[in-house]
Amino acid sequence: MSHKKALHTFFYYLLSVLVAVIVLIPFFWMISTSLKSKGAIMALPVQWIPKKPTLKAYKQVFTMFPFLRAILNSLFITVSYTLITILSSSMAAFAFTKIRFPFADKLFKVYLASMMIPTQVTLIPLFIIMNRLGLINTYPSVILPSLFKAFGIFMLVQQLRTIPNDFMEAARMDGAGLFKIYWKVIMPLCSSAIATLSITTFMDSWNDYLWPLVMLTDKSKMTLTLALNSLNGQYGTQYNVLMAGSLLSMLPIILVYIGAQRNFKHGMLEGGVKG
């Protein structure tokens, strides 16, 4: 029996390490390439570990493109986008679940139905609207769509429905107004759902491609994904530089993920299906 168990353990680790290796090979390749010189990336036989490692590619990223600017743009846009999503979604979810108002059900259905429309449908008209408003090539053009995130509202509504109204009543007895209840009672009570929503929103915004691609054409406004995209367009064969840029673009999100792991419960899925 214990022999069989040992065999099981062996195969378990064999498989899990094999999968991990498959996952990590492209990243290893990225790091290895980013440490090579221009000549070494096309040297045969291929060097898995660079013979003369150099940080030159990392310097070049910043000279070939305003990459630092792109990092700051991404940070500013992503943080604003996430904050607005959280505030706007939680306010709507609070109104839907804790305040009675006319047409609430109908409005909620409209919100839900909007989730079925793929973003590609609204892409062209939104480009036109943004153009009319003179917002093309500005931060608000990529930040403002965060005002309405149906998925976030839906997720928080589900969460808020589980909070008994007794909490509301108790706070009301103490004479608290609705805004105070929203901020001091309800928000803290659903903090873990909010943390989950924050992280998924942060990730989506940080990694977004199509929307910024259409809205931002000015180099000084570009986010990191667009910076990589345009480096690829201009220096498509200098993979050491492209890989250095890719690695730099990944680091913040991985740090956020590891830092937030305590709160992170595989986001999107709460309230999705029950197994």
Partner 1 sequence: MKTKKNNERISAALFMLPSFIGMIIFSLLPILISIFISLTDWNGLEKLSPATISKDFIGLRNYTDILSGTEFWNVLAHTLYFIVLYIPLVFIASLIIAEILFQARKGVGVLRVIYYIPVLTSWVAASLIWKWVLSPQYGAVNQILAAVGINGPNWLTDEIWAMPAIVLASVWKDMGFYGLFLLSGLNGIDNTYYEAARVDGANKAKIFFSITMPLLSPSLFFCLIMSLINAFQLFPQVMIMTEGGPNGATQVMVERIYTYGFKYFKMGYASAYSWLLFVIIFALTLLQLKGQKVWVHYES
Restricted to residues 33-62, the positions that interact with partner 1 (CB under 8 A) are 33, 41-42, 44, 46
* Of the residues 10, 87, 140, 219, which one makes contact with partner 1 according to CB under 8 A: 87
**Within 223-242, which residues bind partner 1 (CB under 8 A)?**
224-225, 228-229, 232, 239, 242
Let me know: does 244 contact 131? Beta carbons within 8 Å: no
Determine how many CB atoms are found less than 10 A away from the CB of residue 55: 10
Nearer to partner 1 by Cβ, of 175 and 275: the residue is: 275
Nearer to partner 1 by Cβ, of 117 and 170: the residue is: 117
Select the span of 54-62, 63-71, 160-168, 249-257 touching partner 1 (CB under 8 A): 249-257
Cβ at position 108, least distance to partner 1 in Å: 10
Nearer to partner 1 by Cβ, of 46 and 170: the residue is: 46
Which two structure tokens, joined as six digits, stand for 187?
A: 């928000």
Which two structure tokens, joined as six digits, stand for 78?
A: 């992503």
Q: Is 162 in the site for partner 1 (CB under 8 A)?
A: no
Q: Is 107 in the site for partner 1 (CB under 8 A)?
A: yes
Distance between CA atoms of residues 1 and 50, nearest Å: 47
Nearer to partner 1 by Cβ, of 54 and 207: the residue is: 207
Q: Is 83 in the site for partner 1 (CB under 8 A)?
A: no
Nearer to partner 1 by Cβ, of 11 and 55: the residue is: 11
Nearer to partner 1 by Cβ, of 144 and 195: the residue is: 144
Select the span of 50-58, 61-69, 124-132, 160-168 touching partner 1 (CB under 8 A): 124-132
Q: Is 173 in the site for partner 1 (CB under 8 A)?
A: no
* Of the residues 64, 79, 203, 260, which one makes contact with partner 1 according to CB under 8 A: 203
Cβ at position 189, least distance to partner 1 in Å: 16
Cβ at position 164, least distance to partner 1 in Å: 19
* Of the residues 111, 151, 155, 157, which one makes contact with partner 1 according to CB under 8 A: 111
* Of the residues 6, 7, 55, 124, which one makes contact with partner 1 according to CB under 8 A: 124
> Among positive and negative, which fits the CA dihedral 60, 65, 66, 68?
negative
Find, among 159, 119, 172, the residue nearest to 142 by Cα: 119
